[in-house]
Amino acid sequence: MMAERYYSVIKGTGSYIPTKRVMNEDFLSHEFYDSSGEKLTKPNQEIIEKFEAITTIQERRYVNDDQTTSDIAFYAAEKAIVDAGIDKESLDYIIVGHNFAEVKNGNNRMEQLPALASRVKHKLGIKNPATVAYDLPFGCPGWVQGMIQADYYIRSGDAKRCLVIGADVLSRVCDPHDRDSMIYADGAGATILEAYNGEKPKGILAHGTRSDTVEHAHMLFMGPSYKKDTGKPDNIYLKMFGRKLYQYALENVPTAIKACLEKSNTHLSEIKKILIHQANGKMDEAILKRLYKLYDIPVVSEEIMPMTIEKFGNSSTATVPTLLDLILNGKVEGHAINTGDKIVLASVGAGMNINAIVYQM
């Protein structure tokens, strides 16, 4: 007798986009320095204009002073549970992808005890001890990897229902004297993944992950402020080798997505949407062009890759689940995902890690 084949389907989604808008013009009064500690001599207006041209970011969202990472993760999770119409006590797993755990206003110390997932379960008021809550610090691809882990649980029969969250507060861990700080934002996105054993394939069809650590482990790292006399010499901040990261992504993300598509026996022409980590607008456009080139498709469809980075910035693990939730709720103009559509969920980030999921609605 053949064992039942379970597929993992998205039952509900939710997101939290902070209300505090920070425009590019808000950085005009900043003092920017380079990695050697030298103050940049170019006018801030010129620095900001070049930044926007490279990244397409015009504004980003920050949490309010009284909010923490677990708060916004909880808000997104609560919305996903309501959207799914489920009993929260029926969850088998709560998985939270993040980079910096709990970060409170006033300092950039990261609280990893208790785990964000434990804090979220507590705030949700879930009493069931069989609801296992744990964190997944996996760089920006943390939410996608959480979905992959949840899929393994569901396919094995170990779980019927999982809550997967991506949440980060980057505004409190980036160096205000580093121009790269203009990239980062805050946010949270969540999904309810549920077992499905119908006759036709549905939900997660295939996934793939790679980690390149020998040469690329320290592409993103923590380091002191570029301004030497900040008065907080022990603080460390999010740093990156931007140009090297850009090149790494262009060389490896398209092939990783293609490998995942082949694993699911899906051709790129069958894909309706590619929801990719909102890291850098121009970089994501270049990744898409290289992916199309791998299939010898000369014309890139503009409708296939929705983008929100120009308004929300890079909120790390939250970008993909937030984008998914917004599209499913009709909040991204010109974009929709319908029943039967095949989509790709993909991300790249610290590790360096890349992952992708082929999903059928």
Mean pLDDT value across residues 215-226: 94
Query: Is residue 56 in some structural domain?
Result: yes
Same domain, 239 and 261: yes
Residue 288 CA to residue 291 CA, distance in Å, equals 5
Number of structural domains in the chain: 2
Q: What is the pLDDT of residue 1?
A: 38
| Mean pLDDT, the chain, whole residue set | 95
Q: What is the pLDDT of residue 301?
A: 81
Same domain, 42 and 145: yes
Q: What is the pLDDT of residue 248?
A: 96
pLDDT for 230 beyond 90? no
Query: Is residue 1 in some structural domain?
Result: no
Same domain, 144 and 221: no
Give the burial string for 174-203 (b: 16+ CB within 10 Å, else e): bbbbbbbbbbbbbbbbbbbbbbbeeeeebb
Query: Is residue 263 in some structural domain?
Result: yes
Query: Is residue 95 in some structural domain?
Result: yes
Question: Contact 110/102 with Cβ under 8 angstroms?
Answer: yes
Same domain, 214 and 353: yes
Query: Is residue 139 in some structural domain?
Result: yes
Same domain, 353 and 261: yes
Nearest CA to 121 out of 188, 74, 154, 190 is that of 74
> What CATH number is given to the structural domain containing 150?
3.40.47.10
| Single residue among 156, 175, 196 that ends a domain in this structure | 196
Query: Is residue 262 in some structural domain?
Result: yes
Nearest CA to 247 out of 268, 216, 275 is that of 216
What DSSP string runs through 66-93? T--HHHHHHHHHHHHHHHHT--GGG-SE
Query: Is residue 275 in some structural domain?
Result: yes
Nearest CA to 224 out of 216, 232, 212, 213 is that of 232
In this prediction, residue 231 has a pLDDT band, given cuts at 50, 70 and 90, of: low
Same domain, 72 and 101: yes
How big is the chain by its Cα radius of gyration, in Å? 20
Which structural domain, as residue segments, surrounds residue 332?
Answer: 203-360
Q: What percent of the chain has pLDDT over 70?
A: 99
Give the sign of the dihedral formed by CA 276, CA 278, CA 282, CA 283.
negative
| Single residue among 178, 196, 214 that ends a domain in this structure | 196
Phi and psi at residue 200, to the nearest 5°: -95, 140
Q: What is the pLDDT of residue 2?
A: 43
N-term to C-term CA, the chain: 29
pLDDT for 233 beyond 80? no
Structure tokens, 277: 């980590």
Mean pLDDT value across residues 94-110: 92
Same domain, 174 and 295: no
In this prediction, residue 39 has a pLDDT band, given cuts at 50, 70 and 90, of: very high
Same domain, 217 and 335: yes
Same domain, 325 and 304: yes
What DSSP string runs through 288-354? HHHHHHHTT--S--GGGS---HHHH-B-GGGHHHHHHHHHHTT-STT----TT-EEEEEEEETTTEE
| Single residue among 138, 173, 196 that ends a domain in this structure | 196
Please pick, among 177, 207, 216, 277, the residue that the annotation labels catalytic.
277
Question: Contact 135/117 with Cβ under 8 angstroms?
Answer: yes
Q: Tens digits of per-residue pLDDT, 134-157?
A: 999 999 999 999 999 999 999 999
Q: What is the pLDDT of residue 152?
A: 97
- 277 in active site: yes
Please pick, among 24, 99, 108, 314, the residue that the annotation labels catalytic.
314
Same domain, 353 and 286: yes
pLDDT for 27 beyond 80? yes
Same domain, 180 and 208: no
Please pick, among 140, 162, 174, 260, the residue that the annotation labels catalytic.
140
Mean pLDDT value across residues 181-200: 95
Same domain, 170 and 225: no
pLDDT for 6 beyond 90? no
Q: What angle do CA 27, 30, 31 make, to 5 degrees?
A: 145
Q: What is the pLDDT of residue 251?
A: 96
Q: Tens digits of per-residue pLDDT, 285-315?
A: 999 999 999 999 987 887 999 999 999 999 9
Query: Is residue 2 in some structural domain?
Result: no
Q: What is the pLDDT of residue 106?
A: 85
